[in-house]
Amino acid sequence: MEKNQIQPIDINGNHFKRAGFVLVLMAGTFLTIINQTLLVTALPKIMSDLDINAIDAQWLITSFMLISGIMIPTSAFLLNTITNRTLFFVAMGSFAVGTVICALSTTYNTLLLGRIIQAIGSGLMIPLMQTLMFLVYPAERRGEAMGLVGIVIAFSPAIAPTVSGWIVDYYDWRYLFYILLPIVGVNILLAFFYMKNIINLTKPKLDFFSLFLSSLGLGSLLYGINVAGNVGWQNEITWISCIIGIVVIIIFSRRQLKITQPFLELRVFKSRTFTLSTIIVAIIFMTMIGSEILLPIYTQSIKEYSALQSGLILLPGALVLGVISPIAGKLFDKYGIKKIAMIGMLILTIASFPFLWLTKETAIWWIVCLYSLRMLGMGLVMMPLATAGINALPNELISHGSAINNTVRQVFASLGAAIMVGVMSATITRYSNDYEGISLPSLLKGLNNGFMSAFILIVIAFILCFLLKSPIYIKKEE
């Protein structure tokens, strides 16, 4: 085996150690992603401390998702304009500044500002890591690389509610940010030694109108979906925002296909493998995020567990996901995508069905086992599929593929939460007595129907898996 197959090479032709490079990337992305769901269980304490209502509190999460989602498509342009080392420091520096502001905040506006600055770094880090991980590993080991990516992307939001629940039960909510600061500092310090430039810059011309359309379209769509998750799909703001977002995104897409230097290269969708895998992964991810919202509602409202106990119920599944992701990556490298995807989807489908029949008497150990089995199925499918999709692209389109892959996943994650919570809320409204408020049977019916919507989506994703081909990892589509 040649030396350049063992060690990666930077843009100057110098070999460097992959381990340190990967560690810095994964740690940085883990810290930024965990903040997406870190405040979920802390919102009641923040509302009380800062004297704000539920709508204002929800904006601390919504704003993070919006800004992060808007920044993701921009990453493809930035990765070809400034060095990846500089972009890493910009992303982590922004996240660090935002974290300091959040930790020191004494007012709602200050906390919201800190979350927005954090989100800028998070939106850049996610596609940056995925692109660099693809380029720093040879083609025959990209499944392994994306298995490591899977640990970060799926594992970090899964453990955030548990960590958050423990901290807010015993300490001030600001410690959610204080504990991050020294870790962020150490990671930035290590990056000075281990982060290398591995992308040859093409320095495309910035099309400001495309940037405007991308931000407006994606921002409007994400805002509308998030509003739907909070107040329902019947709300005027929901429909107007979603329609504006969809129309602007269509205009943006048509422009990208016409200009010579597109802001975001949509021709990646010419790859059948990339298109199919992106859709399937997005559907699976939306059911994962939606389930992580519904299950705590069940355990806290029906089983009357605390936020910490509720988080601990999800923890074994998160651990299973973290363990299986790198294993699934190696299996992909060895056997290709179709077999492992079909096995993973079968496990996910079987494990999801019993959630349609939850009752107050359902044993917690049974829920923990089923949820862990669902995470096993997801771990076998998500990152191998993402790998197969991006592997089908030439190297010069990987940054665009990563940006699009993450953008679609971000939109579908918000959509999944809005659909499942929307179905639950509509069912509760239908079966509740106006004079008695929300009854236990109506809440259970709502939760079961919410999980039914997830099950239907999983079945659709399973069917789409039959359309996959399983090329050898080094084969590129024409």
Q: What is the pLDDT of residue 473?
A: 47
Express as a percent the part of the chain with pLDDT over 90: 23
Domains 16-206 and 270-472 share a fold: yes
* Confidence band of 154 (pLDDT split at 50, 70, 90): low
Model confidence band, residue 436 (pLDDT cutoffs 50, 70, 90): low
Binned at pLDDT 50, 70 and 90, residue 229 comes out as: low
Of residues 357 and 314, more confidently modeled: 357
- Is the pLDDT score of 332 beyond 80? yes
* Mean pLDDT score, 121-139: 84
Q: Tell me the C-alpha distance between 28 and 298, whole Å.
A: 33
Q: Is the pLDDT of residue 435 over 50?
A: no
The percentage of the chain sitting over the pLDDT mark of 70, rounded to a whole number, equals 93
Mean per-residue pLDDT for 244-252?
A: 92
Question: Average pLDDT in the 19-31 region?
Answer: 90
CATH class of this structure's domain 16-206:
mainly alpha
Domain ranges across the chain: 16-206, 207-262, 270-472
Q: What is the H or E stretch that residue 188 is in?
A: helix 180-194
- What average pLDDT does the chain have? 83
For residue 158, name the pLDDT band (cuts at 50, 70, 90): low
Using CA atoms, how far apart are residues 452 and 455, in angstroms rounded to an integer? 5
pLDDT at residue 1 tops 60: no
SS3 at position 195: coil
**CATH of span 270-472:** 1.20.1250.20
Cα dihedral sign for 425, 429, 430, 436? positive
Decide if pLDDT at 129 tops 50.
yes
The closest alpha carbon to 76, from 400, 377, 452, belongs to 400
Q: What is the pTM of this model?
A: 0.80
Q: pLDDT class for 476, splitting at 50, 70, 90?
A: very low
Give residue 90's pLDDT band: very low, low, confident or very high (50, 70, 90).
very high
Q: Alpha-carbon distance 113 to 176, whole Å?
A: 16
Q: Which of these, 167, 169, 171, 148, lies nearest to 159 by C-alpha position? A: 167
